[in-house]
Structure 1
Amino acid sequence: MDSAGVAGMARSYLAAALLLPTASAVGQLCRRHLKLALITGFFLSGVLCGPSCLGFLTDGALRDLAFVEKVCLGLIGISAGSELQLKELRNVGNQIFSLVLSICVATWVIVFASAMVLLPKTTLMGTVSEDKLPVLASIAATIMLARSPASAVAVLKELEAKGPFATVSLAVIIVKDVLVIVLFSINLGIARLSFHREDDNVVLGAIETLFKINVAAALGVFGAFAQRTVFQVKISGERPRAYLRAASLIVCAAFVFHVSEILGAEPLLGCLILGATKVNLEPNPTRQDFVQALHGLMPTTYLSFFALAGASVHVDTLPHFFQPAFFVYSARLLSLYVGTKVGCKLGNSSANHREIGWMAYVTQAGIAMGLSKSVLLQFPEWAGPFYTFLVCVILMNQITGPTMYKAALTALGEVAAK
């Protein structure tokens, strides 16, 4: 890279560094005065400062900052995996299985059908041929399965909520997000075959996709055990030890993500398996240190990721996508109601849970946005409008979901008295 390229990259990183305090302040204002999630404020700040609004971050700057986004995605994947603590899920296994299965099937089928009808009415079909529509609809339906463990935990802590519904709903959210990343990996493999290698043998392509899922899993396990040495290093002083552990997490997320990309595997899956391996197979002291270090990194990770994700949105196309996005949002709500009602009946949950339990699964945030961004990074030549469409739906779920979850917990009497 020549001196002009280095100077340009330095300007991009400086612009991003200046954006973050602004995004943090806007996030706090949105939470305090508009009762929105912090990450919604971060995202809106990015939209405002992006190329299609004020232009504080240019298209070139976003390309320079793609590495930062990938590291953030890796950490988000590790965080999602760390929520999958198998010992805590065994106690409510039957209810979880029934709910996860029924919600996923209902959501995928209904959203897939909606996307098949609505996507041809958008500008997306100007860049993608009609025969690729089922692939896009499947990706959209899979991303709509995602929920947000972080936002669920935030609501439960805010309300000091405890009870059977709080326990089961959080477990379903965690298991569903793990399943979503696996399904998304398969979808992305199919999309690569469809868009980049149309003449390849489908069976060989499917075998290759499964092989790459195993590669991602192996990288995740390797990353988890490679970190053990770092966490066992004895360093005097609490702060130096915390800095070392945080740095090791960042390096490990970057390594797993980058190597997965080089090998054609799904990076988010590898990072998710890293997090799940750490919390389920590590001895207790090391596991606690890992969770503590990860929790310390996540606020900055979400701030950086959502600000940059917002900057990637093309504001001029948002009005065009609002109507189809609203219909997909509505279809998703219907599917959650149907899936939850069937799942509660199969799992012998209470009648109250059957009627309002669906309200726990509306919110979307980090995982959904991360998967959408992965599509944009993998297929930049056509995925811009598709990404904007997905962001529209995710924002609707993000804005309305936490309020619905709070209402459900309150109605079921699981909110602490104050």
Structure 2
Amino acid sequence: RSPASAIAVLKETDARGAFTSLVMAVVVVKDVVVIAAFALNMEVARTMFSKDAAATLTPAGLLEPILSLMASLAMGTGGAALMGLVLRQKNGLLPGYLRLGLSRKLQAGVILGLVVVMFGLADILQCEPLLACVVVGLVATNRRHTSAEKEREELHHLLGAVMPFTNVPFFMLAGASLKLNAVAGTLWLGGLVYVV
């Protein structure tokens, strides 16, 4: 299960509690591992099958995929720090010169913009954008400090505000990319697997 669909189901059913938290933790950790493994494999494949593969099969060339992952993790951690600044606006936990007086809607827009910029920047720098964005959320919600609980709650509310603007296009694009005529020939096989 993907985090997007799990979050959508949990939001739709208004599920809360320890089991819900456990399910989300498992889904997100699994997703981080899958994204990291996929990213590493893609980088290795890109290195091995590039036009100048012989030149990239050096120790420095083989180190490039690992550096890309590390850069993605660093970008995500930095993005989480910036997100923390946005989240602390509401609670008045910042010194006066850092307070921007953002409303909740504006905070939600800033967080959405931050994630979009992180994704684009990671892509431009040839890092792993999905991994960087997952790390932003992971670090932002699991940081340990005095206002962590307030920030986590604020992030939950802000993400709830932007969820329709992200989930609707995501699921619409997922549906639009489904080629039913390509699936039709093997639909019986899927039905057989489902029955068995």
- Whether TM-score is above 0.5 comes out as yes
Q: Where does structure 1 lack aligned partners over 5 or more consecutive residues? A: 1-146, 334-418
**Structure 1 residue 284: Cα displacement:** 1.7
**Structure 1 residue 196: Cα displacement:** 3.9
Counterpart of 1:148 in structure 2 is: 2
Counterpart of 1:182 in structure 2 is: 36
| Match 1:267 to one of 129, 132, 135 | 129
Please give the secondary structure, in 1, of the residue aligned with 2:115. helix
Counterpart of 1:294 in structure 2 is: 159
Amino acid at match of 1:208: E
Amino acid at match of 1:176: K
Change (3 A) 1:178 1:234: closer
Paired residues for 1:267-416 under 5 Å: 267-281=129-143, 283-311=148-176, 313=177, 315=179, 318-323=180-185
Change (3 A) 1:163 1:295: closer
Change (3 A) 1:292 1:272: same
Change (3 A) 1:186 1:329: farther
Change (3 A) 1:190 1:163: same
Please give the secondary structure, in 2, of the residue aligned with 1:290. helix
Change (3 A) 1:320 1:308: closer
Query: Is the counterpart of residue 219 in structure 1 residue 75 in structure 2?
Result: yes
Change (3 A) 1:211 1:160: closer
> Matches of 1:229 and 1:173 in 2, distance apart?
27
**Structure 1 residue 289: Cα displacement:** 0.9
What's the % identity of the aligned pairs? 29
Question: How far does the alpha carbon of each residue in 1:143-182 deviate from its partner, in whole angstroms, 9 at most, with x for none?
Answer: xxxx224544526974969897x77655433321221111
Task: Give the conservation status (yes or no) of the 8 Å contact 2:83–2:140.
Answer: no
**Structure 1 residue 250: Cα displacement:** 1.6
| Match 1:251 to one of 82, 96, 113 | 113
> Matches of 2:89 and 2:23 in 1, distance apart?
38
Q: Where does structure 2 lack aligned partners over 5 or more consecutive residues? A: 92-101
> Matches of 2:83 and 2:18 in 1, distance apart?
35
Amino acid at match of 2:69: I
> Matches of 1:330 and 1:177 in 2, distance apart?
28
> Matches of 1:264 and 1:299 in 2, distance apart?
29
> Matches of 1:329 and 1:263 in 2, distance apart?
43
> Matches of 1:258 and 1:269 in 2, distance apart?
12
Query: Is the counterpart of residue 172 in structure 1 residue 34 in structure 2?
Result: no
Q: Which has the higher contact order (CA 8 A, sep 6+)?
A: 1
> Matches of 1:272 and 1:163 in 2, distance apart?
22
Paired residues for 1:104-115 under 5 Å: none
| Match 1:210 to one of 44, 47, 66 | 66
Change (3 A) 1:171 1:209: same
> Matches of 1:241 and 1:328 in 2, distance apart?
49
Amino acid at match of 1:259: L
**Structure 1 residue 246: Cα displacement:** 0.9
